[in-house]
Amino acid sequence: MSRKVVAGNWKMNLNYNEALSLFNSVNTISAKDVEIIVAPASIYLAEFSKCSGRVKLAAQNVSNFKSGAYTGEISAQMLNSLNVEYCIVGHSERRSYYNETDQLINQKLHLLLENNISPIFCCGEILKDREKGLHNTIIEQQLKHGLQDLTKSQLLNCIIAYEPVWAIGTGLTATAEQAQQMHSFIRDVISQLYDLETASSLSILYGGSCKPSNSAELFAKKDVNGGLIGGAALKKETFNEIIDSF
């Protein structure tokens, strides 16, 4: 059975005091059967990892190299030494602004899993591809290449996030039906690459302008196991409402 997950991606927002105060208040949210994850800026992870509470920590990025002379980078091993449990990989902002390829994303996934960190693997198509009806093909390619050579048990330690690029930060949300169609397609692809049991155990999150006004409808869909939330995760109230909308 897939578990319910709501993850907040704070991106490059919030100064230290704002982030600490939001983290402390999100840490008090008490949703019984929903796993709550937040991904603050990496420089806050060391401090936040000392505050025990309800919330699990994710990094927003990791190096595709193990260690060494890579100025400015943060390794999977370093994240592991801070007890960071998750890391977002393959986000469309990294794919488009930092030219991250499926191959590089795949290297990051392997390093994370070798260091006991669960990747939140993002996939999503751009508007042009959806308009041309290519969305399934694009997602299938991202899954095949991004998840390459992962064993079944490694894959079971991943969370998949479907984030149509045209819905991220734009206020446009995929309809609940569009989300369900794609999530079910993702399960079919995983089922072909692995098996049905693995596909049904995976948590697949929806991301892209998910907010309190649409989360209940999205989460009610059979194959939508939660959300990866950007803008609406920056306020405790809206993040909490989304968590409560299961």
Asked if 209 touches ligand PGA (CB under 6 A), the answer is yes
Asked if 169 touches ligand PGA (CB under 6 A), the answer is yes
Nearest distance from residue 207's CB to ligand PGA, in Å? 4
Q: Within the chain, how many helices (H) and strands (E) appear?
A: 12, 8
Of the candidates 37, 139, 210, 242, which one interacts with ligand PGA according to CB under 6 A? 210
22 or 194: CB nearest ligand PGA: 22
Asked if 39 touches ligand PGA (CB under 6 A), the answer is no
The Cα 192–Cα 205 span in angstroms is 20
Q: How far is CA 200 from CA 101, 160, 213, in A?
A: 27, 12, 27
Q: Site for ligand PGA (CB under 6 A): how many residues?
A: 13
Burial class (CB in 10 A: 0-12, 13-18, 19+), 110: middle
The Cα 241–Cα 243 span in angstroms is 5
Asked if 218 touches ligand PGA (CB under 6 A), the answer is no
Asked if 230 touches ligand PGA (CB under 6 A), the answer is yes
5 or 194: CB nearest ligand PGA: 5
Of the candidates 37, 55, 168, 242, which one interacts with ligand PGA according to CB under 6 A? 168
Known catalytic membership, residue 183: no
**Contact of 42 with 59, CB cutoff 8 Å:** yes
Asked if 229 touches ligand PGA (CB under 6 A), the answer is yes
Look at residues 114, 191, 119, 183 and name the one whose alpha carbon lies nearest to residue 152. 191
Q: How far is CA 228 from the centre of its chain?
A: 5
**Contact of 27 with 55, CB cutoff 8 Å:** yes
3-state DSSP call for residue 122? strand
Tell me how many degrees the CA angle 128-11-103 measures, rounded to the nearest 5. 55
201: tokens are 């155990």
178 or 209: CB nearest ligand PGA: 209
Q: Which range binds ligand PGA by CB under 6 A, 112-120, 148-156, 163-171, 195-203? A: 163-171
- Choice among 35, 91, 93, 125 that is catalytic: 91
Nearest distance from residue 97's CB to ligand PGA, in Å? 12
The Cα 119–Cα 161 span in angstroms is 10
Q: Which range binds ligand PGA by CB under 6 A, 14-22, 56-64, 69-77, 201-209? A: 201-209
Known catalytic membership, residue 145: no
6 or 229: CB nearest ligand PGA: 229
Which residues of this protein are in contact with ligand PGA, per CB under 6 A?
9, 163, 168-169, 207-210, 228-232
Active site members: 91, 163
